[in-house]
Structures are given as C-alpha cells and as structure tokens.
Amino acid sequence: MSKTYLEFSDPGGAEHKFYEIMVEGTDLTIRYGRIGTDGQSSTKTFPDAARAQAEADKKIREKRRKGYEDAVPGVRQKREVVRREVAETRSTTRHTAPVLWRFKTRQRAFGIFVDEKAAWVGNDSGEVFALSLSGEVNRSFQLPEGVKCLVSDQYRTFAGCDDGNVYDLSGKLPFVAYEVEQSVSLLWLDLHGGTLAVSDSAGGVYAFDAESDQQWGHAGGGAAMGWMVRVDEQGVYYGHSRGVGMFDRASGFPNWHKPTRGSVLFGWQEGGDLYAGTSADLIQRFSKAGEHIQDYQCDTSVLSCATSPGGEFVFAGDSGSAVYCFDRAGQRLWKLGTGCQSALSMQYAAEKLYIVTTSGVLAAIDVSPAAIEAARQGSVPQVRDVKLAAALQAQAPATELATVRSAAGNVLLRAVKEGGKIRIRPDDSRFQQDWNVQFPRNLRTVGGLYVVDDLEDAGGFYRVVGEIRRLEN
C-alpha cells in the first residue's frame, strides 16, 4: 500500500486544503477537503495495480503543479467559526402575522436574498435553496459549511460561507468567487462593484477585490461581534459592540464613527440611510454622513431589520418571535407574532416581508395594509407548508472540471503567472486581454486553458457566464 498526503495554502492565507491519495492493490482512494475536516472520499478500482499506481502518480503531479506540498496531517487547524448566541424570549403578542407560506430547512438560517424572481435561504448546514416568490423550490446547493449570508452583485447571487469562501450560485454548480483570509473570523459580508467587505468577531472590517486580494483592513480596536457590514459606491459601513461607522471604500480611510445604544446586532441600508438593530431593543437610523436621525422602539433585542423602498416603512424582527412595522417618522404601526420563531434576517419585496429564523424557516408574510388589518382582527390565511421535491438534487461546488477538445463558439481563457500568483485572462480578441477573470483558485493551473460560455463585464474585471471546462492540450 502507498499513501501520499498533500496540503495547500495560498500566499494570502485564504485557502487551507488537503489531498490524500492511497493505492491498495487495484483500488485507488482519494480523500480531499478543507484542513480540519474529514473531507470527502471516493474509491475507484482499476484492472491491475500498475494502472492504479499510474493514475495516482498523475493526480499527485497535477496537485503539485497547483502548489500542493507534502505535509503531516493535523498540523494546520480549521478556521474558527463563530455562531450567534440568541437568547430568545417568550412572545407576548396576541395576534399572528399573515404568513402565506413557509419552507422548513433543517438548521438555523441567517442567509436571505430576495429579488423579483426568487427568494433564497441559506442555513447553518451549508444548504442553500432558491424558491419562487409563490413558494416552490427550484434550485438547491450544498456548500461545505454553514452559510453566513446571501448577497447580490448586479444579477448574481453569492453565498458567504463559514469556510471563508464566497460562492457564486449563478451557474449549474457553485464555484468560489472570493476567499477571505484565514485570520479573519467572518461574521457578515456584503458585496458591491467587485468589492467584498467583511466584518469579523473582533469588530474588524476588511475589503477584498475580485481576486480576493486584501485592499485594506482595520482591527476592531477592542470592539466585538461585527454583525453589520454594508457597501455602496462610496463607503463600507459597519456596526459592532461600540457603534456604527464608515470607511472610504477605496482607501479604507475612517470617515466617521458614532456610538449606538447597545451592541449592533444587524444592519440595513436604504438610499442615504443606515439602520442598525441593537441589543437595546431599538433600531437606530443614521445618515450615511453619520448623523443620528431617528429611533424605532421595539420591546426586546432587535435581531434583524429591513425597509420598504425609500424607507417609507421600517420592519424589525425581535428575540421574542415578533415582527414590527414602523412609519418613517418612528411611529409603531403594528407588532405581530410569526409562529416561526425569531427572524435572524429579513427582506421586503412587493408588499411581502420575507424572513429566515432560528428554527431554519423561510417564510413569506403579507404586509399589505388589508392583510395586516385582518391579522390584527384575528383573521389570517392558512399557512402553506412548502415541501422539497424528492427529485431535486443539491449541487456541490466543483472540485474537478469537465474537459472539451475545442473552444469553438465559446470563450477561451488562459492561466498566467504574475507576481507569484496565477491569474486568469481572456485569450479572445473580443475582450480586454489584460483584465482578470474571476475564477476559482483551486481550479487554476499555470499554463492551463479553459473554456466558458461567455464573460460578463463586472467593471474592470470579468465574471464567468455559464460553466467552466478545461481545454485538453
């Protein structure tokens, strides 16, 4: 029996993976994954031992070309994962909100994103589901670890994962779009114009570009639990145990900081305003210039918040399984129970409030004036429980690429070595050939050729459209 164990850590410290290959007679067993986990394994039987060993040698050469090195198992440690501790209180609300449908995932859910086509949910088990707005499950993904949040950049949806990676979910298979340095215990992420902003458990805030290179970073300075980070064209806005503030998006220069009443547990942005949900039972609204404008008083800690367009209505979810609605001036319009436990995140769209909860439920609530008035009178619709179709298969991130013999009719990409890093560039006169292509690092090989359906201009770099294949040399 022969066994080879390899590990890979990129220069920035964002990736820490292992690859183990074992030959026993005619059986070849491969085990791979993130360091600190058991990973995944598969076994293939060959006609004879020589062919099994030849295939193993080929795989080992490929991994070493990608930067994998011989190592001893157990030396490196798994990235620290921080979970939010939620002290839920018993609900005292008399009436229940008009929940239209609910979808029960298997674990507590933080991640939510809603647009005109779909409602997405991601949970602590790494499951991500995309549902129609009427509540049918259309897509399913299985990521390596828990999903912290779901974000969107233009027309794509991304999942921020506890393994430090941000996965692009726009294709058939998810792939790594951004990687966060190992030293950052990420809590929340936001994405705008190619800039990934990350807040961590020590109150630190960091910005990464489309190649996952860190642009700037600020330690928390004694703060803790950065559960809020939002990005726009001008700035990165944060919230932690000591308040809220803004860094310049390009330079990281600290523009302002303001204390809040209680620790910030969630953050939202709408137009020129920021909304910070706090442990002091209220939402505090600030202008993006740092002016404290308005408070919205709840009855227990605010775990999540959102607004309608323009901030006409402000919504909150508290630790007592209730949701609230306020007008812009701060007047409470209603408070209703959810029946789904406490909302850890939420989003408003077209007179519906979508929430994800501590029990792993994604629910759609009708918050139109007529539905809310009926609920306050004790009349609510029958909740429809959404079932997951047995035939729907969860898609996991690709670890190997399919191969093609020709790039005809598609776009050819080339891997080049630059400054100690492997970059992916278009090898096609229709595109800017000095622009980088956002591409999974674990799939890059120096000199490699890749074929994609198309490229999308993301503002100074390209994003892949469709599937990635390797061109056979």
Report how far residue 136's alpha carbon sits from residue 237's, in angstroms, rounded to the nearest whole number.
35
Residues contacting 249, CB < 8 A, separation 6+:
192, 195, 207, 231, 232, 233, 234, 235, 236
Strand partners, 20: 5, 31
**Of the candidates 397, 409, 413, the residue with the CA atom closest to the CA atom of residue 469:** 413
Report how far residue 218's alpha carbon sits from residue 206's, in angstroms, rounded to the nearest whole number.
6
- Contact (CB, 8 A) for 191 and 166: yes
Strand partners, 413: 426, 450
Report how far residue 243's alpha carbon sits from residue 260's, in angstroms, rounded to the nearest whole number.
5
**Around Cβ 234, how many Cβ atoms within 10 Å?**
13
The SS3 of residue 62 is: helix
pLDDT at 13: 46
pLDDT at 14: 46
Label the pairing between strands 437-438 and 322-327: unpaired
Structural domains of the chain sorted by starting position, each given as residue range(s) with its CATH number in brackets = 2-70 (2.20.140.10), 99-386 (2.130.10.10), 403-471 (2.40.50)
**Of the candidates 171, 159, 177, the residue with the CA atom closest to the CA atom of residue 440:** 177
What's the order of all strands across the beta sheet hosting 99-104?
343-349, 352-357, 361-366, 99-104, 384-386
Both tokens of residue 221? 């300075």
Strand partners, 332: 326
Label the pairing between strands 384-386 and 99-104: parallel
Strand partners, 295: 284
Quote the DSSP letter at residue 311. Answer: G
> Would you list the DSSP string of 173-190?
S-EEEEE--TT--EEEEE
Task: Give the distance between the most distant pair of CA atoms in the chain.
Answer: 77
The SS3 of residue 49 is: helix
Amino acid at 130: A
Give the Å distances, CA to CA, from 125 to 110, 143, 147.
11, 8, 7
**Of the candidates 132, 101, 108, the residue with the CA atom closest to the CA atom of residue 303:** 108
> Per-residue pLDDT for the chain (473 aa), expressed as one digit of tens each?
889 999 887 544 445 788 999 999 999 999 888 776 777 788 889 999 999 999 999 999 888 887 788 887 765 556 677 777 788 887 778 899 999 999 999 899 999 999 999 999 999 999 999 999 999 999 999 998 899 999 987 678 999 998 888 999 988 889 889 988 766 777 899 999 899 999 998 899 999 999 888 899 998 888 989 999 999 999 999 999 999 999 999 999 999 999 999 999 999 999 999 999 999 999 999 999 999 999 999 999 999 999 999 999 999 999 999 999 999 999 999 999 999 999 999 999 999 999 999 999 999 999 999 999 999 999 999 999 999 988 788 999 877 788 999 999 999 999 998 888 899 999 999 999 999 999 988 788 888 999 999 999 998 999 999 889 999 87
**Around Cβ 397, how many Cβ atoms within 10 Å?**
20
Phi (first) and psi of residue 53, to 5 degrees:
-70, -35
pLDDT at 74: 63
Whole-prediction pTM: 0.83
pLDDT at 15: 57
pLDDT at 121: 98
pLDDT at 153: 78
